[in-house]
Amino acid sequence: MSCIIKYSASHPFPLQNLPYGIFSAPGRSARPGVAIGDRILDLYELSRSPHFAGAGVEPGVFQGDTLNAFVALPPATWSAFRAYLATLLTSDALTADSPLFVSRTAADTQLHLPLHIGDYTDFYASLEHATNCGTLLRGPERALQPNWRHLPVAYHGRASSIVPSGTSFHRPAAQILPPSATQPIFAASQRLDYELELGFVYGGPSTPLGTRLSPAAARERIFGAVLLNDWSARDVQSWEYVPLGPFLSKNFCTTISPWLVPLAALEPFRVAQATHEPPLLPYLRDPDGCNYDVPLYVEIKAPENEDYEAVAKSSLRHTYYTAAQMLAHHSTSGCSMRAGDMLGTGTLSAPGEHGYGSLLEKTHMGKQPFALGRRADMTWLRDGDSVRMTALAQGEGFCIGFGECEGTVLPALPLQ
């Protein structure tokens, strides 16, 4: 049977997707739901209904305001519940006008962070991005640091400033070393940037301290993914990052899309993983590993323009290290992983000038402005600019989307 909720073949949320999120609506406090077409299946109400008898999940799992309880269940349970949902949505047990469904597009339907994200680690896994940035900073001969082809480079981010799509934020202020100056100043960042990423979410039981995950085991523990914008203050970053890496330049805001797309929904888009040369150490080798060909898009809307302007197209396939390798490397020291932990891929740049996943690359560190609609001299983000990231993978007769990852820059707060 076909799905009881009707949608077009180009809709980002078909039966083959079934992403999870947290929503609220009039008369409904924040609760878990599943997007299907332009509707949301209310999992809280479903868990209290007779239809939940065959779900194979305790009702209390969906009676909180985060997805953590569900994500913490064993991977086999995720698969079984996904199959249950597909059966329910193609049976005559429900109708499209059932009170279990809520309009996803209604103005009074609000989307929230899907998870309590306990820890957030951001990687640097795109060869194109690392090469582009390294070339700008050190020249083509030393573009990649000696360790880059041997391990997935990463830093620990700040989970407290992760926000859902649609959240505006103030331009950050911190220490900056102005050009040609010898002493820093405290000022608002003038080189504000975005970074096009995906965030993978760890699921399943927590790993005990001291436990290592192989790439194969890590792959089974990746519940799904969200779009991620790692907003970055480049002038702050250039002054602070030696010797311990980014801090204030990236901890002020990280935006994610509100729908958590299960990894199972990306299976039709599997592609070969990158060729690793030199060969990786044994603990990172994954003969069965893969990437996913999910096209990614960046658009910017400036206040002087009427609509968004396209600025970049890339793909999730442009990761030198797979998500499973990132997670395996993260755990190799014995670091405990917990349900809801998030791993950012780092900027996903594609080959060619239209594939730059950041303004740092697109403008050659602000030295090559480009036209953005009526704005002829675009370099860094200005107050009032909005950045929107989307993803849409085309299957045979269906699409898999992530929704939007959007945020707007507000003026800096007073410095005194």
User: Alpha-carbon distance 291 to 293, whole Å?
Assistant: 7
- According to the annotation, is 254 in a ligand binding site? yes
pLDDT value, residue 38? 98
pLDDT value, residue 416? 78
Which residues are part of the catalytic machinery?
Answer: 129
- According to the annotation, is 237 in a ligand binding site? yes
Q: Check whether 169 has a pLDDT greater than 70.
A: yes
Q: Check whether 41 has a pLDDT greater than 80.
A: yes
Q: Do domains 20-112 and 120-380 have the same CATH topology?
A: no
Q: What is the mean pLDDT of the chain?
A: 98
pLDDT value, residue 211? 97
What's the CATH class of domain 20-112? mainly beta
Are 229 and 407 in contact by the 8 Å Cβ rule? The answer is yes
Q: How many residues does the chain have?
A: 416
Average pLDDT over residues 345-372: 98
- According to the annotation, is 122 in a ligand binding site? yes
Residue 58 pLDDT class (50, 70, 90 cuts): very high
8-state DSSP, 132: H
- According to the annotation, is 347 in a ligand binding site? yes
Architecture of domain 120-380: Alpha-Beta Complex (3.90)
Average pLDDT over residues 173-179: 97
E-state strands within 71-141: 101-103, 110-112, 120-123
- According to the annotation, is 124 in a ligand binding site? yes
Segments making up each domain of the chain, as ranges: 20-112, 120-380
pLDDT tens-place string over residues 108-150: 999 999 999 999 999 999 999 999 999 999 999 999 999 999 9
Average pLDDT over residues 5-34: 98
pLDDT value, residue 1? 65
Residue with tokens 């888009």: 269
Q: Check whether 262 has a pLDDT greater than 90.
A: yes
- According to the annotation, is 42 in a ligand binding site? no
Cα distances from 299 to residues 10, 37, 108, 331, in angstroms, run 20, 23, 25, 35
pLDDT value, residue 166? 98
For 409, the 3-state DSSP assignment is strand
User: Alpha-carbon distance 174 to 187, whole Å?
Assistant: 6
Residue 336 pLDDT class (50, 70, 90 cuts): very high
**203: phi then psi, degrees, rounded to nearest 5:** -135, 170
User: Alpha-carbon distance 124 to 44, whole Å?
Assistant: 38
% pLDDT > 90, the chain? 99
Say if pTM beats, i.e. exceeds, 0.85: yes
Ramachandran assignment for 403, one of left (phi > 0), alpha (psi -120 to 50 degrees), beta (any other):
left
8-state DSSP, 265: G
- According to the annotation, is 313 in a ligand binding site? no
HSE of 271, CA atoms in CB hemisphere, 13 A: 16
